[in-house]
Structure 1
Amino acid sequence: MSLSDEKAFKKALKAKAFSPVYYFYGEDEYLKGEAVHELIESAVERATRDFNLDVRGASDLDAESISSLLGTPPMMADRRVVVIREVANLKKDARAALDRHLERVAANGATDVIAVLVAQGGEKAKADKVLERLSGANEFAPLLAGRVPKWIAHYAREKMRAAISPEATELLHRAVGNDLAALAAELDKLASYAGDAEIDEAAVVAITGTRRDETFGDLLDCIASREAPAALSMLSHVLTLPKVSGVSVVMALTTQTLAISYGVGLRDEGASSGRIDSAFWELIQTIRNVWRPWGEARAAWSKSLSLWDAASADAGLEALLRADIALKETRLSSDEQILSTLILAICSNVRSIENPGAPGRTRRGARAIPAGVSAD
C-alpha cells in the first residue's frame, strides 16, 4: 500500500465510509494483519462483536457456509464484518458462492455486511486477478527501507505512547532490519523498559544486546570489505543477537556474495559505478530480503566492489557451500568455529581490483588487513 493509499484508507475508516468488499493481498503479513485489525476496530462495536464478527479460514468453508456468512444481517448494529483468510484456498463451490455475492454487491451497491478477503502472503503469493480489480483491493508490499525508521517512530508514538530518539531508531533498525513484526515486538519491550522516559540508544543496547558498530550489518560490512580481524572480533557477540545463528549468517553472506558477484560481472562488462549502484538497488527490490536496511546493503556492496574479482567471488561462494554443509552435518565444530573458518576463507588474498599492482590492504578506521591472510 502506497503512502497515499494508506492515508486514504485511514481517512475512510475514520469517516466510517466502508467498502462492501475488501481484498488485502501482497507479501507483508504484518501490514495486512494491521489493516484487518484497524478495519474491525472501526466497523464493529466492541459490545456487539461476538454477534457481528466472523473470522474464518477459506479451506474450512463450503458454498452453504459462505452464503450464510455473507447473507446474515447484523444484530443490534449497523453492520457486521466477515473476514476470510487465505481466500485462494476456497473450494470451487465456495468460490462460486463468493462470486455470486460479489455480483450482487456490484449490482445493488452498499450492504450491511462487509467482506474482508485476505490473501496468503509470502514472496510467491499471487494476486487474484478478479479480486484485485475490486475498489476495496489493497496490496501490502514490504515497506521500502527508507520508510521503516518513520514507521518505527510512528509505532512508538501511536501504539506505545512513547518517544524514541533518532539514534535509538537507527540502531534498532540496523539490529532488526525491515521485519515489522519483529520491530513491533522489540518496541513493545523497549516501551516497558523505558517507562515514561524516551527510548534511547542505551535502552536498545540493553534490550536487544546490539551495540553500535557490532550489529549483524556491521559483520556483513566487514566481510564485504574483506576485513577478517574486524569480522572475527565481533563474531561472537553478533551470534548472541536475536534471530542470528550460523545458518542465518551463511544465508545473508550468500545473498551478499551473489550480489557482489553480479556487480563484478557488470564492472567487467564496462558498466560505470553509477550503473552498478543502480543495478544493486534494482536487485535488492527484487530479492527484498538482504538481512539489513536496503540502503546500507547497497552502500556496502558498492563500496567494497573494488576488492573483488570473479575468482574471489567464486571462491567465496564455494566457501559458503562448505560452511553450509558443515553447519548441517557436523557437531564436532561450533557455529562460531565454522564461521571463523568461513570468514578467513572469504577475506583471504585481498587486493584492489582497480589497482592490481597495489599492496593488498583495506582499512576500516584504524584497522587493516594484509593481503596474505591464510584460511588455515
Structure 2
Amino acid sequence: MSIFLYWGEDDFGLQKAVTALRDRVLDPIWASFNYDKISPDRSDAIIVALNQAMTPPFGAGGRLVWLVDTTLCQHCSEELLDELERTLPAIPDSSTLLLTSRTKPDGRLKSTKLLQNHADIREFSLIAPWKTEQLVQQVRQVAGNKGLKLTPEAAELLAQAVGNDTRLLSTELDKLQLYAAAKGGQEGTIEAKAVTALVTSSTQNSLQLAGAIRQGDAARAIALVADLINRNEPGLKIVATLIGQFRTWLWVKLMLEAGERDDKIASAAEIGNPKRVYILRQEVSALKSGQLSRTLPLLLELEVSLKRGADPLSTLQTKVIELCQLCKR
C-alpha cells in the first residue's frame, strides 16, 4: 500500500515511523529529487501533494510525498473530496503519499472513510500517565527492541521515571545500553539499582501529586504543582492525570464496598493487571467513597477554569488545597 496516515500526539514515535518510511522508500542518492515535505501553511497543500504523488520518481528508488499536519480528516470540501476519489486509487506503486496529523481522524467524514479504504492508518497516541501497566509494557517493548532485558522492578522504576515520554524513554534506554556494554558486553539483565543510579527520574510527576492529595498532604502537593509547572508540564495534562487516577480510586472503593472480587474490580476499573488491585486497596483504605466522589466535581471545575485561560499555577494550587482538605477530613 502506497498511502499512509499517521496520527497521534506521540511526536517522537511518529517521527521515528516517518524516518523509517523515508529510509525504506527513497534511494539516498536520489532523495533530493524524490522527497517532498509539504507544509500545511500552503492553501493548496493537498492538491500539490496529490500532484506530486502522481509524478514518477527520478532515478532509482521511489518517491515520497509527506503532507504535514493535514486537516483532511477534520474537514474536507466536496471539490477536494472529488479530487481525492479520483487520485488516490491512481497513485502509482512507485510513489508513497504520507499524511500526518496530531488529531484523531473524524470517522464520520467521507474523506476519512475514503482513506480507510485506501490508506494504511497507524495511531501514535501517548499512553495515559495513570495507566501504569501499559507504561511498563511499553518500557519492556522498547527495551526489547534495543536488545535490553530489564527485571520487573527495573521496568517499573523506569516507567515511573519517564512516564509516557517516549523520547525520554529511548534516551534513558540508550544510556542503560551503554552501561550494559561497559560491563563487558555480556548479555545480562538490567536491575533496579542500575536504573536508580543512571536514570534521570522525573519523580515530581502528576501521579505523585495525586498521591499527595489522597494523603491530604497540602504542603507537598503545592510543591509538586510548582515543580510540574516549572518543568512546563501543561496544566490540562496534569488535570487529566488527576481525573483518571481519582476515577480509578473511586471505582475500586465503590466495588470494595459492594463486596466484589479483585478480578471484577480490575475489569470495571479498566485495570490491566488484577494483582494491582491489592495496591489500590491499600491506597483507598483510609478514604470513604463519598470523599472520592466529591473530588471529581472539583477536578471538573479546575479543568473548566484552565480551559477558560486561568493562570495554571495559582489555579492548580488553590484547587489542590481544596482537594487535600477534602481527602484529609
- TM-score normalised over the length of structure 2: 0.68
TM-fit CA distance, 1:193? 9.7
Q: Does 1:304 align with 2:283?
A: yes
Equivalents in 1 of 2:300, 2:76: separation in Å?
Answer: 41
Q: Does 1:176 align with 2:176?
A: no
Q: Does 1:75 align with 2:71?
A: no
Q: Which one of the candidate residues 135, 149, 157 is aligned to 1:145? A: 135
Describe the shift of the 1:68–1:237 C-alpha distance in structure 2 as closer, same or farther (beyond 3 A). Answer: closer
The range that moved more, 319-328 or 340-349, is: 319-328
Partner of 2:115: 131
Equivalents in 2 of 1:74, 1:276: separation in Å?
Answer: 57
TM-fit CA distance, 1:318? 5.7
Query: Any conservation in 1 of the 2:243–2:296 contact (CA below 8 Å)?
Result: yes
Query: Any conservation in 2 of the 1:174–1:217 contact (CA below 8 Å)?
Result: no
Q: Which one of the candidate residues 98, 121, 129 is aligned to 2:102? A: 121
Letter in 2 for 1:121: R
TM-fit CA distance, 1:43? 1.3
Gap runs ≥5 in structure 2: 128-133, 184-193
Query: Any conservation in 1 of the 2:243–2:299 contact (CA below 8 Å)?
Result: yes
Equivalents in 1 of 2:235, 2:47: separation in Å?
Answer: 50
Please give the secondary structure, in 2, of the residue aligned with 1:74.
coil
Larger radius of gyration: 1
Equivalents in 1 of 2:142, 2:46: separation in Å?
Answer: 42
Query: Any conservation in 2 of the 1:48–1:75 contact (CA below 8 Å)?
Result: yes
Equivalents in 1 of 2:57, 2:328: separation in Å?
Answer: 69
Gap runs ≥5 in structure 1: 1-18, 285-293, 350-376
Q: Does 1:203 align with 2:192?
A: no
Query: Any conservation in 1 of the 2:62–2:94 contact (CA below 8 Å)?
Result: yes
Q: Which one of the candidate residues 258, 266, 273 is aligned to 1:277? A: 266
Please give the secondary structure, in 1, of the residue aligned with 2:61.
coil
Partner of 2:247: 258
Partner of 1:362: none
TM-fit CA distance, 1:90? 5.6
Partner of 2:295: 316
Partner of 2:83: 97
Please give the secondary structure, in 1, of the residue aligned with 2:227.
coil
Q: Does 1:55 align with 2:33?
A: no
TM-fit CA distance, 1:313? 1.9
| 1:203-248: CA deviation from partner (whole Å, max 9, x where unpaired) | 21xx3463xxx76534534544x3x46x856864685364558776
| 1:158-181: CA deviation from partner (whole Å, max 9, x where unpaired) | 7xxxx6864554323102212324
Query: Any conservation in 2 of the 1:73–1:113 contact (CA below 8 Å)?
Result: yes
Describe the shift of the 1:65–1:295 C-alpha distance in structure 2 as closer, same or farther (beyond 3 A). Answer: farther
Letter in 1 for 2:327: C
What is the RMSD of the two structures over their aligned residues, measured on CA atoms?
4.5
Partner of 1:348: 328
TM-fit CA distance, 1:83? 1.7
Describe the shift of the 1:322–1:126 C-alpha distance in structure 2 as closer, same or farther (beyond 3 A). Answer: closer
Equivalents in 1 of 2:97, 2:297: separation in Å?
Answer: 51
Q: Please give the residue correspondences for 1:160-175 in structure 2 after superposition, counting only pairs within 5 Å.
A: 166=151, 169-175=155-161
Higher relative contact order (CA 8 A, sep 6+): 2
- TM-score normalised over the length of structure 1: 0.61
The range that moved more, 59-68 or 317-326, is: 317-326
Please give the secondary structure, in 2, of the residue aligned with 1:47.
helix
Equivalents in 2 of 1:69, 1:330: separation in Å?
Answer: 45
Letter in 2 for 1:21: I
> Equivalent pairs: percent with the same residue?
21
Equivalents in 1 of 2:301, 2:93: separation in Å?
Answer: 60
Letter in 1 for 2:62: R
TM-fit CA distance, 1:29? 4.5
Please give the secondary structure, in 2, of the residue aligned with 1:308.
coil
Equivalents in 2 of 1:295, 1:56: separation in Å?
Answer: 47
Equivalents in 2 of 1:235, 1:63: separation in Å?
Answer: 47
Q: Which one of the candidate residues 5, 22, 26 is aligned to 1:40? A: 22
| 1:97-144: CA deviation from partner (whole Å, max 9, x where unpaired) | 332222325xxxx621122233x234x543522222336344445564
Letter in 2 for 1:201: T
Equivalents in 1 of 2:6, 2:198: separation in Å?
Answer: 35
